[in-house]
Structures are given as C-alpha cells and as structure tokens.
Structure 1
Amino acid sequence: MKGRVKFGVEGLDEMLLGGLLERSICAIVGTYGTGKTTFALQFAYEGIKRGEKVIYISLEEREELLRATMAQKGWDTEGFGDRLYLLRLDPTDFNLAISSIKSELPALIRSTGASRVIIDPISLFEGLFVDESVRRQEMFAFIEMMRDEACTLIITSETETGNPDGSRYGLVEYLADAVVLLRYIRSPGLTEVHLALEVVKMRRSAHSREIKPFEIFSDRIMVYSEASLF
C-alpha cells in the first residue's frame, strides 16, 4: 500500500487526508496570481526539510529569481546542499526543451534519487505542440513515462481563458491523479476578493470536496480547512 507525501501546506494536507499518494501525479491549476508557483515551491521545500532530493524544472522563472523567492521566505537555500536540483528550461528553444523533459529527466531522477519532481508550468510545455492531436499524444506519453519513476510529480497549469475551472489545454486534469484548483472568489457585494482552493479529484483516495479559503504569507501558505468562504 502506498504511503502519503506531505504537501507541506497547513490545511491542504488535511483536505488530502494526510497528503498526496506516494508516486502520484498532482496538477495545480489556477489563473494568474493565485499562487501556483508558491504551492509548488512549498511542496519542494517540504521534501528538502525531510531530507529528500527534489528536482524543480521551471519553464518560466529564472533560477536566480526562484532562489530569491526562497530566500525571501527565510529558507536557507545554501543549506539545501545537493538536495535541490533547480533547472530552468527555455520554452522558446523547442527541440532542447522537448529533449530535456522527455529524454533527460528520467535519467536525472534516477541518478539523483529525487523523490519529488516539479514542472512549473506544464502549460508552456504543452504549448510547444501546435497540433492538438500531437499535444495530446505527447502529454499522454510523458505522463506514462513519469509513472515508471519512483517520484511524486507536481505540475502547474494556467487555466483556460474564460474557464477558471479548467487548464489551458484541458488535458492535465484528466491525466493527473490529483487536481488542486486555485481560484478567486468575490463576495456577494463585490467588496472583497478571496483566494480559494478545491481538491477537484484524487484517484484511489477519499478527500475533502469543500471549497476553502487560503492566504499566502511571506513564509507560508495557510489553507483554512475548517472555515467557510463567507
């Protein structure tokens, strides 16, 4: 029986009944400004604190900016040692990005012994494939490839314009084992905007189906799993 992998976000682990299932694939889906990268970094940091090896692949932020973000949170990045492998791929270099993720990632996971892998955001990888059928085929092949690796995978994705409940290409929520949806909720009088989180699905496990508010602080994320939105 598979164990649980702590996400490292107070309130979210409770909603996941202890954390993600070991060696599962989780998609964090949300529009801009909802904290997808912050959640991904928190997942990475939780692994590092536990002595695990972590691979973080960024297709958007530069390595120095990610390290600066970590430093702002008060994390001792110098003390991470060889537990964090932070890689920045240029999505404009189509062939290199495709080759690195498909060909080199499995070998890197095995050589480092990484138990947590993050790709942020996967939507930029998906966007490298112009043809929809090719995109679907490549994404399915990638996810199947990752299922053979001894790691828990986090992928982040932008929501589709005009559809705050679905990913940009409508694929990751079907391919992933777990989906965490981040969104803005406006109060009835339109006087306040809240950040809210929903665990949309979690294969092979029960989970909370309630929508819960959350806040992003300088050093942590807090999901108010006992609170109501309004």
Structure 2
Amino acid sequence: MGEPNVKFGVPILDKLLPRGIPRRSLVIMVGDSGTGKSLITQLMAGSFLQRGEKVIYVCLDDDPESIVSSMESRGIEARRYAREGKLILVDAYASRYGLETEEYVAEKISSLDIHGVSSILARLADNNGIRDSGLVILDSLNSFAFRYEPSMLYDFLNMLRVSLAKKRGITTVATFHTPTQLYAEIAATLEHMADVYIIIRYHEEALEAGVAVRELLIKKAKGVPVMFGWVKFVITDEGILEAKVRKIEG
C-alpha cells in the first residue's frame, strides 16, 4: 500500500491503463443504466479487498444486502469482509426510507446533505485508518442529482476530490447514469472535475441484433499512459470478458 499508482484489478480496465492510475484520483464512470457500471465497481472493490486494502462502499441505488449478494455471486466474500471491518458499507438507500438495514452495515445515512455525507466519509476514512490506500465507491451520484441543482453536485464532487482523493490519498470512484439528454449533459460537465473519466455504452449494432454487448472508453486519465478507443465486452457468469463484434452486413 502507499504506491503512487494503483490498478483496478478489473482486466479490461487494467489493459487500457497498463500502469494503473495515480492513487490520489477521482474516477467518474458514466453511461446508460444496465451497462455494467455497478458490477465494475463491485469487481474493483473485490480486487482492493483481496489485496488487503479497505473499501468504503456507499450504497445509493440499492440496499446493502443486494450489493453484498451480487458481490458474493462473483466470488467476493463480501459479508466476511464487512464483518471484519474491511468492507465498510454505508447504507444511504434503505435508511433514507426508514427501513431496517443489515447488522454488518457500518453507517446509515438518512439524508443526502452533501456537506454531511462528505464529512461522514472523511470520518469513516480516519476512524478506519485509511490513508494513502483503499477505495471509496459512490454508486451512484444520481441520487444527489435528483435532489440538487447541477452546481451543487459539482461542489459535492470537488469536496470528495479534495477531502478523500487528494488530502487522504484514497482512490475515489463515483458512477453516474445518463438515461436522458439532460443527464448526459451533466455527465459531460463532470468530466473536467475527474482525474479519470470512463464512458460505458451499449454497442448499438449488436443490441439491434439482440446481443447485449457493451463498450468502454477511457476518455481521460491524468498522468498515466492510456490505450484510447472503444473496447467491447460482455457480462458473463465468469465476469467481464472482452468481446469481438464482426460488422453486421445489411
């Protein structure tokens, strides 16, 4: 731990970023719903945990139990890591609606106050000794976008970038869904705040043919070499696999 660069541990990303990324990075991953962003963040979390780094996972789009179950279906011992205090689950989903949450959840957030959430994450990092190591995941930022004007969302991201990535040296990853043109425009504005900016989308021709092929682009990665261009992949029981798509003749 403490190395200046860190790899995600997800083969398709590590291929595109052969030297990894600077540890003190804010990573933003954008794309349509269902393209695999949440799965990729869960695989990132598993990789960090397996090499002994702690992970703070903020559950914003789903309840912790669903996320833990998804991780375990991919061979990640999420419950064990949570009970050992290595996977620090923050319930900002069920708790917002007054619902009970699982005993292995480390923190409950009932209100999405951007200053409050930023302070909670800084406190969790400090209380768990996470500095120049580890990972913070927020999946997804849309919960904040529903509540706040875009300018407030930008301020929130800047707070996370300064407080977690830069000051504490914790790689910080946030996802953002782009179901409408408005959200696509917000996502485009988020790019200039990110140290690493990743876009995921469906491959249109394959989708029209009834095959769920996605493609991924690392549009920006500060300070490290990157292989540019869209890379196609599929989601299988074995994980995320790179795919080859032949041109469909008309």
> How has the CA–CA distance of structure 1 residues 215 and 163 changed in structure 2, closer, same or farther, with 3 Å as cutoff?
farther
Residue 96 of structure 1: aligned partner = 111
Counterpart Cα distance in 2 of 1:171 and 1:102: 21
Residue 186 of structure 1: aligned partner = 204
Q: Which amino acid aligns with 2:180?
A: T
> How has the CA–CA distance of structure 1 residues 160 and 140 changed in structure 2, closer, same or farther, with 3 Å as cutoff?
farther
Aligned pairs, how many? 226
Per-residue CA deviation, residues 88-128 of structure 1 (Å, 9 max, x unaligned), is: 11495898322542211111112113311101102222332
* Residue 207 of structure 2 is aligned to residue 195 of structure 1: no
Q: Offset at 1:145?
A: 2.5
Q: Contact 2:43 / 2:71 at 8 angstroms: preserved in 1?
A: no
SS in 2 for 1:17: coil
Point out where structure 2 has 5 or more consecutive residues left out of the alignment: 98-108
Counterpart Cα distance in 2 of 1:168 and 1:133: 10
Residue 224 of structure 2: aligned partner = 205
Q: Which amino acid aligns with 1:28?
A: M
Residue 163 of structure 2: aligned partner = 145
Runs of 4+ in 1 over 3 A off after TM superposition: 90-95, 132-139, 166-171, 227-230
* Residue 53 of structure 2 is aligned to residue 35 of structure 1: no
Instruction: Kindly indicate which of the two structures has a greater share of residues assigned to strand.
Output: 1
Give the alignment's TM-score, normalised by structure 2. 0.79
> How has the CA–CA distance of structure 1 residues 22 and 140 changed in structure 2, closer, same or farther, with 3 Å as cutoff?
closer
Give the alignment's TM-score, normalised by structure 1. 0.85
> How has the CA–CA distance of structure 1 residues 202 and 189 changed in structure 2, closer, same or farther, with 3 Å as cutoff?
closer
Q: Contact 1:212 / 1:229 at 8 angstroms: preserved in 2?
A: no
Residue 65 of structure 1: aligned partner = 66
Residue 87 of structure 1 is aligned with which of 62, 81, 90?
Answer: 90
SS in 2 for 1:97: coil
Write out aligned runs for 1:1-230 (5 A): 3-80=4-81, 81-90=84-93, 96-98=111-113, 99-114=115-130, 115-130=134-149, 132-146=150-164, 147-159=166-178, 161-162=180-181, 166=184, 168-187=186-205, 190-193=208-211, 194-223=213-242, 230=247
> How has the CA–CA distance of structure 1 residues 169 and 180 changed in structure 2, closer, same or farther, with 3 Å as cutoff?
closer
Instruction: Decide which moves more: 33-42 or 213-222.
Output: 213-222
Per-residue CA deviation, residues 119-142 of structure 1 (Å, 9 max, x unaligned), is: 110222233213x44443343334
Q: Offset at 1:64?
A: 0.7
Counterpart Cα distance in 2 of 1:29 and 1:14: 19
Instruction: Decide which moves more: 179-188 or 198-207.
Output: 179-188
Q: Contact 1:161 / 1:168 at 8 angstroms: preserved in 2?
A: no
Q: Which amino acid aligns with 1:83?
A: K
Q: Which amino acid aligns with 1:102?
A: S
Counterpart Cα distance in 2 of 1:209 and 1:4: 19
Q: Contact 1:73 / 1:220 at 8 angstroms: preserved in 2?
A: yes
Counterpart Cα distance in 2 of 1:67 and 1:188: 31
Point out where structure 1 has 5 or more consecutive residues left out of the alignment: none
Aligned-residue identity in percent: 24
> How has the CA–CA distance of structure 1 residues 148 and 229 changed in structure 2, closer, same or farther, with 3 Å as cutoff?
farther
